[in-house]
Structure 1
Amino acid sequence: MTQTAAYTLDFAAATDIGCHRGNNEDSFGYDAELHLYVVCDGMGGSAAGEVASGMAVRALIESFESLALQAVSSGEQLSIEQRLLYSIHEANRVVRSASELNPELHNMGTTLVCACLNEHRIVIGNVGDSRAYMIRNGVCTQITLDHSLLDEQVRQGLITPEMAAASNLQSVITRAIGTANEVEADLFAAELNLNDMFLLTSDGLTRYAKPEDIAKAASPDAELTTICQSLIDHAKQRGGADNITCMMLRVVETPPASQSAPDLAS
């Protein structure tokens, strides 16, 4: 019997204030052991956006970790999709509650895009217009759909992509973490191939970088940290009007010594 090699993820991330902003409202975080990765882009003015994004990152990761511990103690296993959805809703609850309790944080919110390894699959969730891309065999494909006014109008055939690109409504999003009591997240899943790469990023990059630009930067032999910095530089050279955050993931084989040994006592 042939045993399929186990996969894990190498990763790197970088964030930059950009060329014109006074503070960085993007946040990112991860739990490498649980293979959970997240990028958030806050909004709300002053420091509120920075608070919202950081709060959402922490709440998502802490909720996901708590569910993992509960699964170990109870033996009841939720699917990765169920765990991600629950954790996204918990992030929404935490940010919403803070917004309502603190007048200085009123109306704050954040986008969110996250990814989690599930054996030979990856599951991706998003709210807002932060995006996930897959780079496979030199081709970059957008996985997520933007929850933004312009993108939804393009999908409905109301305007063209060129009209959207020229619009001054680039920042109008239709869903966000923390702006309402309930939030609707999208989930996507993909079967993995060795050396697949995934990019989680805020719109500070995607308003300047097309999929072919991302594919060019994400060459197979490039270091992930170099790819992140190259993409940030790309955005800044073209204006860098917003904060820019990039998190790159690469699918690799789990080293044999790191794979779980069989339980001979069972």
Structure 2
Amino acid sequence: MNLASGSAVPRDIEPRSESRQAAAATDVGCVRARNEDSHGMVEALGLYVVCDGMGGAAGGEIASQMAVEALLAYMRGRFAAIDPDLRAELESRHERAQLLEEAILHANRVVYCRSLLEPELQGMGSTLVCAWFSGRDVLIANVGDSRAYLLRRGSIQQLTEDHSLLAEEVRSGAMTKAQAESSPLRSIITRALGTRERVEPDFFRIEAEPGDRFLLTSDGLLRHVDDATILDTASQGPPHEACTRLVSLALQGGGRDNITCILVQTP
């Protein structure tokens, strides 16, 4: 199991909040030969991302790594180029969503172009879920079936909507949630980053409260750990311990897929 609690950032980007706590954990699982999940964070920007790759050979692993690296590099570059006096103004306006969308579209182009250049990587792609914190404002974006959850005052709320065949069936009423969870078609997603020239991410905005916890996770956790158990486990102890316990529970349940999660607690 690999643990991470941060990543390097340019020195001219000042930390937003020293009291925000974040940690991550990932594991290849018990079945897969490769870990096709990737994750990253730039704590000074309040930016956190999880990606779950797909594709033959090493395609999924490459796609998710490229997606994370491209997204974070784009955001670092944009902020390094912005006058420090203008950063607060930028982040308090609609431009935050526009900037994050630009970063996701950039990551999509990077992965897509690589797949065109190398025949063995054709068709590779990745899900993406990310959270960008600015004060109490939290901007969530997703593509695919990796999810963001809010844990607040003893309750859990799924913030994102899956872009998957089964999720569409559930939303239309053609299938129940219980039927979807046991269906062999659960891995079919309807949107992915890098599989096409353009991608359409969804965005969600929420105002954080003190003590809130935000969980970003690939579906490898969700295959084995239900919402009630996630709530109970992720609500207790420091974020790094909670992440470790979540991954351990998924492994105990069979670990049929790669497992990755990031947990962020707001001050």
Same fold (TM over 0.5): yes
Listed one character per residue, the Cα deviations across residues 177-202 of structure 1 (whole Å, up to 9, x for unaligned) are: 00010000001111111110000000
SS at match of 1:133: strand
Equivalent of 2:233 in 217, 221, 224: 217
- Conserved in 2, the CA contact under 8 Å of 1:205 and 1:231? yes
Match of 1:137 in 2: 153
- Conserved in 1, the CA contact under 8 Å of 2:151 and 2:235? no
Distance 1:85 1:8, change over 3 A: farther
Match of 1:171 in 2: 187
- Conserved in 2, the CA contact under 8 Å of 1:138 and 1:215? yes
Aligned mates of 2:202, 2:62 — CA distance in 1: 23
Match of 1:27 in 2: 38
Q: What's the CA shift for 1:67?
A: 1.9
In angstroms, what is the RMSD of aligned CA positions?
1.6
SS at match of 2:163: coil
Aligned mates of 2:250, 2:36 — CA distance in 1: 16
Q: What's the CA shift for 1:45?
A: 2.0
Match of 1:186 in 2: 202
Q: Output the amino acid matched with 2:155.
A: V
Aligned mates of 2:248, 2:181 — CA distance in 1: 21
Match of 1:230 in 2: 245
Q: Output the amino acid matched with 1:161.
A: K
Gap regions ≥5 residues in structure 1: 1-5, 253-266
Aligned mates of 2:85, 2:232 — CA distance in 1: 46
Q: What's the CA shift for 1:69?
A: 2.4
Aligned residues: 246
Match of 2:80 in 1: 69
Listed one character per residue, the Cα deviations across residues 8-66 of structure 1 (whole Å, up to 9, x for unaligned) are: 52100010000100010000011111111000000002211000000000000111112
- Conserved in 2, the CA contact under 8 Å of 1:8 and 1:117? no
Gap regions ≥5 residues in structure 2: 1-16
Q: Quick check: 1:42 aligned with 2:53?
A: yes
Distance 1:190 1:7, change over 3 A: farther
Q: Output the amino acid matched with 1:234.
A: L
Match of 1:108 in 2: 124
Aligned mates of 1:81, 1:71 — CA distance in 2: 16
Q: What's the CA shift for 1:172?
A: 0.2
Percentage of pairs with the same residue: 47
Aligned mates of 1:51, 1:35 — CA distance in 2: 25
Q: Which TM-score applies when normalising by structure 2?
A: 0.88
Q: Which TM-score applies when normalising by structure 1?
A: 0.89
Q: Quick check: 1:127 aligned with 2:134?
A: no
SS at match of 1:152: helix
Match of 1:256 in 2: none
Q: What's the CA shift for 1:73?
A: 7.5
Listed one character per residue, the Cα deviations across residues 124-182 of structure 1 (whole Å, up to 9, x for unaligned) are: 10000000000001211110000000011100111111221221111100000000100
SS at match of 2:162: coil
Q: Output the amino acid matched with 2:110.
A: V
Aligned mates of 1:217, 1:185 — CA distance in 2: 29
Q: Quick check: 1:159 aligned with 2:159?
A: no
SS at match of 2:22: strand
Aligned mates of 1:116, 1:185 — CA distance in 2: 14
SS at match of 2:83: helix
Q: Output the amino acid matched with 1:39.
A: V
